[in-house]
Chain A
Amino acid sequence: MKVAVCAQDNHIDARVDPRFGRCPYFIVVDLDSGNWEGVQNTGTQSSGGAGVQTAQLLVNRGVNVVLVDRIGPNAIEVLGRAGIQVYGGIHGTVSQSLESYRQGKLTILSRANSPSHGGMGRG
């Protein structure tokens, strides 16, 4: 069971990042072994569609659960269709968020809680 948390830095005690698509790192924790690794989010450099690209990254990593503060509609749709559960409203540090998750204190998100940037058009 792999859980990914939006983080501002590449560390288990880093502060969580409120954004999904443009957060610089994900801390991916394997709950079975307790091991964690930091994954750099390549989506932050993308010109639009960051949320979608970030969701693709987590799908490719085989993540089962994502802990976020805010997430847009496109990204949550991708994660939902890939069978990844999304929990919202995290704050503080990555390890605090994981603890809240373990204690069942986080609520599952079925809808976006942040509007889309609407992609990027020629418009």
Chain B
Amino acid sequence: MREVVVLSGKGGTGKTTVSGSLAVLASNKVMADCDVDAANLHLLLDPVLKSSSPFYGLKKATINHEKCLGCNLCIHLCRFDAIGPGFVVDPVLCEGCAVCYHACPCGAVEMIEHVAGYLFLSETRYGPLVHARLGIAEDNSGKLVAAVRKEARRLAEEEKKELIITDGPPGIGCPAISCLSGADLVLIITEPTFSGRHDLERVLELAKHFGCRAAVCINKWDLEPENSRALESLCNRYSVPLVGHLPYDESVMEAVKSGRPVIQECSGPMEEGILALWDKLKALLELR
């Protein structure tokens, strides 16, 4: 079984658009949406929810006012300013470090289970989809991302699937890092903009830092061909193969608007581009 993780650094470069099309083209696979902060893949795949389960974050502190003597030690020690007047803990600011719990001389602090989000398992006409929703203001620690990937892996093993397509989160922080462990290939979607180039370099650096095999696809490459050439030389510098060139195509917006994977709505260079990308990925992943 193989896993390809689609990342981009910068948001809005077409990660989900590409993942959605790969989901149509690949057979015998599981999809995982690891952008738990703003999950979108389900909007293209028309899923039927089969089950959902709560996801627990780090336990958060609460103060039992009957036991509290008002010594202020917890307020003094809390580096996150999470304990306010009247010894009330702000759950948004509390990071769950439990320093107050350990330090309180009268045992007035309790650490309470806390639901930070939900993990979903859905069925789509393209195969199973694992996705999640992190609660607002929650800690996007990468733990929910890891839970999504673990569930996808379990399903893939159970149902003897040969591929997992993981739509990754933007950025290069914890959630993106969580997507790299054990992935067979990181497909980076970039665009020929200055910010695209800037962010591509940071993601390539990240993949290198964690020793992950990467490949790059340039979306909207014809928007600024000169910038696309700069992206190509950046890939050369990192010895990372360029596996796709997708054109700037306003029909992409139409496809997304109608909530369908682009490969089903496009024709001409866009369709050819996506098919060629898939062929190269299959070769890199050694799929049939």
Is A–B contact present in the complex under a CB 8 A cutoff?
yes
B-binding residues in A (CB < 8 A): 22, 47-48, 70, 72, 114-123
Say whether A120 contacts B141, CB under 8 Å. yes
Dominant secondary structure at the B interface: loop
Given A48-B142, A123-B140, A118-B178 contact (CB < 8 Å) = yes
A113 → B minimal CB distance (Å): 9
Given contacts A117-B146, A117-B178, A123-B173, 20 further A-B contacts (CB under 8 A): A22-B150, A47-B58, A48-B142, A72-B181, A115-B181, A115-B210, A116-B177, A116-B210, A118-B142, A118-B174, A118-B180, A119-B142, A120-B139, A120-B142, A121-B141, A122-B141, A123-B140, A123-B141, A123-B171, A123-B175
Question: In the complex, what residue of chain B is closest to A72 when comparing beta carbons?
Answer: B181
Say whether A118 contacts B182, CB under 8 Å. no
Say whether B174 contacts A119, CB under 8 Å. yes
Given A47-B58, A121-B174, A123-B173, A116-B181 contact (CB < 8 Å) = yes
The A/B interface has a contact count, at CB < 8 Å, of 54
Say whether A48 contacts B141, CB under 8 Å. yes
Partner of B142, one of A22, A70, A114, A117: A117
A22 to B96 alpha-carbon distance, docked (Å):
21
Partner of B143, one of A47, A70, A72: A47
| Interface members, chain B 99-150 (any A CB < 8 Å) | 139-143, 146, 150
Say whether A115 contacts B180, CB under 8 Å. yes
**B235 on the A face (CB < 8 A):** no
B47 → A minimal CB distance (Å): 26
Which residues of B lie under 8 Å from residue A122 when comparing CB positions?
95, 139, 141
B125 → A minimal CB distance (Å): 31
23 contacts between A and B (CB under 8 A): A47-B57, A47-B96, A47-B141, A48-B143, A72-B181, A114-B181, A114-B182, A115-B180, A115-B182, A115-B212, A116-B210, A117-B146, A117-B177, A117-B178, A118-B142, A118-B177, A118-B178, A118-B180, A119-B142, A120-B143, A122-B139, A123-B140, A123-B174
A-binding residues in B (CB < 8 A): 57-58, 95-96, 139-143, 146, 150, 171, 173-175, 177-178, 180-182, 210-212
B154 → A minimal CB distance (Å): 12
Say whether A115 contacts B141, CB under 8 Å. no
Question: In the complex, what residue of chain A is closest to B150 when comparing beta carbons?
Answer: A22
Which residues of B lie under 8 Å from residue A121 when comparing CB positions?
141-142, 173-174
A27 → B minimal CB distance (Å): 21
A12 to B211 alpha-carbon distance, docked (Å):
34
Which residues of A lie under 8 Å from residue B212 when comparing CB positions?
115
